[in-house]
Structure 1
Amino acid sequence: MMKKKGLQITNNHGWTIERLQEQERRMKNANMAKRIAVIRLIMQGYLGIQVAELLNIHRETVSIYVQKFNQGGMDALLERHYAPGRKPYLSPDEERELRKMLEESTPADEGYGIETSWNTRIIQHVLEEKFSVTMSRGGICDMLHRWGFRYTHPTYTLKRANPQKQKEFQQEMELIKKTCPTTQS
């Protein structure tokens, strides 16, 4: 009866077990550290199925990592291709134009009614009219969050308000709150 031969590192690309351990420790991404651990354990003589059990990954994944490392070394092992994702609704130039508009002007300045602050309904109208883009208000909200914008309710300041009288009123209210017995049920 012949003993089955396990996975082997056919080209170590100059990596030793000690160097792999050090690289594994320095790796911030846990998934990438696990890939390095696969190679280290195979170099230490573990079988692919043992490595899969130890690291809680599929045995075929172990084979894929060994194959990648043998072919292209550490760069090939750690290379990760992400799905391209959905094409953005706005081009980079259109995004810059819209961001500048939101940061530097009001809807009234741009000729979109008499509003003094932007909301998703107005932005939706701007997108349709100016860029021929239809987006849901939720999608607009997500886009604004990606850009670092946060939704706040507009506050009003009274131009002729007396700051001294306001402060006195606030102090008086605090005093009333402290001295007034609260009804408890």
Structure 2
Amino acid sequence: MKNNEIKRLNAAMKDTTDKRLYERILAVRLRLEGHSFTEIGDLLGRFRQTISIYWQSYQEQGLAGLERGASPGQPPKLTEEQRHQLAAMLEQQQPADVGFEARYTWTLPLVAEWIKREFGITMSVRGISAMLKRMNFSFTKATYTLAKADEQAQAFFRKHTFAQLKKQVEAEAIDHLLFEDESMIRSYQALQYNWFPRGKQRKVPTYGKHEGAKLFGAMNYETGQVHHREEEKADVAAFIRFL
């Protein structure tokens, strides 16, 4: 009899275009297959109580009970203030900043551990994932940024210094305008994905103290021509050879 019931549920899932109804039917089918409310809740990103309500509605009214909809379950486990605190922490701090030694990207298990530690609240990783998506966070890859970069100096160069240099090139006061840079292909630890506000990217400060290849390069602003040279050391002698 249970197999026939599961077949009817599978047929109903195929026939519906309502995603919420599909989820409720799936929850009931998983329950019939022997899964606990907690297991189903973790799988679907719902509270255990919500799955229990789905099951009760089905037991009392069959598929009709699911089609009428079910209660969305208990209120969010975190208060609005706690969610704001969580969002600020994820955006402004790395795990290592708040006691997770040698961890630099936020994963769901780490977020769950932080919530448990700070608020005394236990949440499943699926529940946290659903909550973060509602908070407009996404799972993105971090990027490196210079820890000692001077943003004001960079802005001044773009707005004033570079503009003056272009005028000198146009007036033929200087022959060429070259942009030169040195780079090292370093053996950094691979960056990982982590939870961060949607549309933004976490930047991991780096101080460049790693071994790797040393490259010198220059680009002619007028022609776009690029010249480069690889050296064993990035020192004055290597720079002079490059010039």
**Structure 2 length as normaliser, TM-score?**
0.31
Give the strand-richer structure, 1 or 2. Answer: 2
Greater Rg by CA: 1
TM-score, length-normalised on structure 1? 0.40
Higher helix share: 1
